[in-house]
Amino acid sequence: MVETLAILAAGFWAGMINVVVGSGTLVTFPTLLLFGYPPLVANVSNNIGLVGGGITGTFGYRRELAGRRRELRRLLPASVLGGVTGAVLLLILPDDAFQAIVPVLIAVGLVMVVWGPALQRRAARGRDTSADDGSLATLTPGRLAAVLIGVYVLGIYGGYFGAAQGVLLVGLMSVLTAEGIQSITGLKNLLTTAVNAIAAVTFLLVSPESVDWTVVLLIAAGATVGGVVGARFGRRLPPWLMRALIVVVGVAAIVRMLILG
């Protein structure tokens, strides 16, 4: 009973925090390890279970996604392809082959989140605003290519492990676009959910024996409710508080991973 309640609570917290800032995996994954689940089973089952929270969180941010089909037709394929790549790598590479650089990636993402607004303002001063206002729909080809490559690479990371993928996506778009933080959060929720979903399908097809369905159902139940709560909470936060929360969660994620590592 204690294990069941702990996993359910971890799923709820992960679903809620994933919608707002990301890093929910750093709640659920260590919880599963604490109760003795093998790392691969914990990682795969956690990934599948968190899809429900991503769906409810993305639905909660549907207003930020309205009218963005053109951008999503470019971003979603990059995320999906990256998610498949990362999921396959998880199944064929040693457990520690990629996780060694995770704290560094998170730290880079936090720097991008913190300095993103200043870089946006500097870029705006040198931009021809008649042709490019810094939104995804009007980016120059070179900058758009950089965004797509970054989304693909982070999709690989998300399919492989996924902790703080949201933080990194927010950092990437904060630097390379002039999108507002709530708009970026809506895009982040959809892209990370797509990565988790396609990785889940890959795991089910390639390595179904790595799935613990009891864990999946517990995390899914908690994360789905947490996604609803997180969407309602996160949309009301001012931009500066959103960025501050991202930094706090990101730093905590780095500390936890270094301790666990």
Encode the chain (261 residues) as per-residue pLDDT tens digits: 889 999 999 899 888 888 877 778 878 888 888 888 888 888 889 989 999 888 988 888 888 888 888 889 999 999 999 999 998 988 888 766 656 776 777 677 677 667 766 665 665 555 544 445 567 767 778 888 999 999 999 999 888 877 778 888 888 888 888 788 888 888 999 999 999 899 989 989 988 988 999 999 999 999 999 988 888 877 677 767 767 766 776 677 677 767 765
HSE toward the beta carbon, residue 153, CA cutoff 13 A: 12
Structure confidence at residue 190 (pLDDT): 93
Which residues have C-beta within 8 Å of that of residue 93, sequence separation ≥ 6?
none
Q: How far apart are CA 16 and CA 231, in angstroms?
A: 7
List the one residue out of 132, 135, 157, 159 whose CA is nearest residue 147.
135
Q: How far apart are CA 237 and CA 240, in angstroms?
A: 8
Which residues have C-beta within 8 Å of that of residue 237, sequence separation ≥ 6?
20, 245
Helix (H, G, I), strand (E, B) or coil at 211: coil
pTM: 0.79
Q: How far apart are CA 251 and CA 114, in angstroms?
A: 12
DSSP alpha helix (H) spans, 126-180: 141-160, 165-176
Structure confidence at residue 95 (pLDDT): 64
Which residues have C-beta within 8 Å of that of residue 15, sequence separation ≥ 6?
24, 50, 52, 53, 54, 56, 57, 222, 223, 224, 225, 226, 227, 229, 230
Q: How far apart are CA 25 and CA 190, in angstroms?
A: 16
CB 21 within 8 A of CB 190: no
Q: Exposed, middle or buried, 40 (CB in 10 Å: 0-12/13-18/19+)?
A: middle
Output helix, strand, coil percentages for the chain, rounded to the nearest 5: 80, 0, 20
Structure confidence at residue 122 (pLDDT): 65
Q: How far apart are CA 58 and CA 52, in angstroms?
A: 10
CB 23 within 8 A of CB 167: yes
Which residue type does 57 have?
Answer: G
CB 205 within 8 A of CB 87: no
